[in-house]
Structure 1
Amino acid sequence: MIFEMDYRQLQELENRIRQLPNHAERVINETLHTGGIELLESNVTRLIPKSNRNKNAPWYREHGSVKHAKDANWSVSKKEHLGFMLKSRGGAANKRGSFGYLVFPDEGRGQVEQSFTERATGVAVPKIVAKLHGKLIETIGGNM
């Protein structure tokens, strides 16, 4: 997935990182791994489409999840150095408890392309960058 950032925001972030040569990496990782993951997950969850299917029907109880992804813990996050990955829990869509089907509307398979993760990322990234700025400024102020 590709997202865009304002170049001025990136320059401001770079200047703040330079002011914390020995601490910026830790602050960035902590911010991304807590607030960043939560922000992106909540923005994606808000945009996940909810079908009209009755998930309490016997077939669903036998073959799949009885919860809609929007109402369940649908994601798994992986913390990476200066980043993170957020993906659907469970892998293949035919596995019980899996929300792997969430990728299909984004790619336009089976339904009209909805791009809910792309739209959610577009909303979450500026908020995550603002959190990074705030934490870096807070840390700079605390060290001086």
Structure 2
Amino acid sequence: MSGWAFIGEADFAAVTVAAQQYPDNAERAINEVLHNEAGPVVYRGINPLIHASGRTFKGHKTSAKASDWPEYRTNENLAVTVAAKGNYQYLYFPDDGSNTNRHAGNQQFFKRGAESVIPRIVERCVQAITSEWS
């Protein structure tokens, strides 16, 4: 998929303050949240923005909106990647701006969906960092 979603300056400041107060716990806590919780949260932010194709002919698979399309990659430090698996990689085309005669591109639903849930993920990261010390 195209596009990246990054933590904004204000949200990054909240994580930085928590990490400075509890440096021994910060990296592990953030990785646990990102690797175990963030992927499904990002999926729930992206999926409502996907438009169903409306195609119903025999042999047509269900649209991505009604399917389990995400693949989570959690082997990165302080990051999580949400990508479309197998048959749903066509989601790349409307997201990156490519288009055909029938489909409009540049919808950016991956980026918009991910950015909409960043505050929730940041809040959960800060909670995880400070939870052992509270």
Q: Per the shorter chain, which TM-score range?
A: 0.7 to 0.9
Deviation per CA, 1:12-47: give whole Å up to 9, x if none: 311211222222111111111122111101111111
* 2:65 equivalent among 39, 59, 70: 70
Alignment of 1:1-144 (within 5 A): 1-3=3-5, 5-54=7-56, 56-58=57-59, 60=60, 66-79=61-74, 80-90=76-86, 98-108=87-97, 109-110=99-100, 111-112=103-104, 113-141=106-134
Query: Contact conserved, 1:19 with 1:140, CA < 8 A, in 2?
Result: no
Distance (whole Å) between structure 2 residues aligned to residue 133 and residue 19 of structure 1: 11
Q: Secondary structure at the match of 1:99?
A: helix
Name the TM-score, length of structure 2 as normaliser: 0.84
- Deviation of residue 4 (structure 1)? 5.2
Work out the percentage of aligned pairs sharing the same amino acid.
25
Contact preservation (8 Å) 2:70, 2:85:
yes
CA distance in 2, matches of 1:6, 1:87: 21
Q: 2: CA distance between counterparts of 1:107 and 1:11?
A: 30
Aligned length: 127
SS of residue matched to 1:50 = coil
CA RMSD of aligned residues (A): 1.7
Q: Which runs of 5+ in 1 are unaligned?
A: 61-65, 91-97
Larger radius of gyration: 1
Aligned-pair CA distance for 1:132: 0.9
- TM-score, normalization by structure 1: 0.79
